[in-house]
Amino acid sequence: MLTERDRCIDKPEFDVVIAGGGALARINGYLDIDSSPSLRERLLALFEAPHAKVVHIDLSAVTFIDSSGVATLIEALRIARSHNTELRLQGLEGRLLRLFQSTGILSLFNGNTPESGSKAV
């Protein structure tokens, strides 16, 4: 079991690259109850930017996600749609991909096609 000290090492990082009419948001580390509020705020700011018509969220470096992290991504989708922004997930692999596929969450974001790797915006 991870201690609080261990978890501090894996705090999430959030990096955004904006190009053309879209943005690529890369998340690294844990996406959990402690980090979800911060991620929500940063995504909201990104959706409110006038130039972000398509936002790709790269989850390839997410090492852990809990139900609050999943809920934050679903809420981000709702917010994105209210701002006429398309939100797509990419970089899903292994357990994370299976989780999103088996629960049907992936189809909310990407139809039935998972995207992998870092896609240029």
4 has pLDDT over 50: no
Distance between terminal CA atoms of the chain? 38
pLDDT at 27: 93
E-strand ranges in the chain read 13-19, 22-31, 54-65, 86-90
Q: Which residue has the higher pLDDT, 15 or 12?
A: 15
List the beta bridge partners of residue 7.
none
**Confidence class for position 12, pLDDT limits 50, 70, 90:** low
Rounded (10°) angle between helices 36-48 and 67-82: 10
Residue 115 per-residue DSSP state:
B
CA distance 25 to 43: 8
Q: How far is CA 105 from the centre of its chain?
A: 12
pTM: 0.79
Q: 44-66 pLDDT, tens per residue? A: 888 877 767 889 999 999 999 99
Q: 63-104 pLDDT, tens per residue? A: 999 999 999 999 999 999 988 889 999 999 999 999 999 999
7 has pLDDT over 70: no
Lookup result for tokens 């190009």 = 19
Domain ranges of the chain: 11-110
Indicate the fold that domain 11-110 takes in CATH. Transcription Regulator spoIIAA (3.30.750)
Nearest to 114 by CA among 57, 74, 75, 70: 57
pLDDT at 6: 44
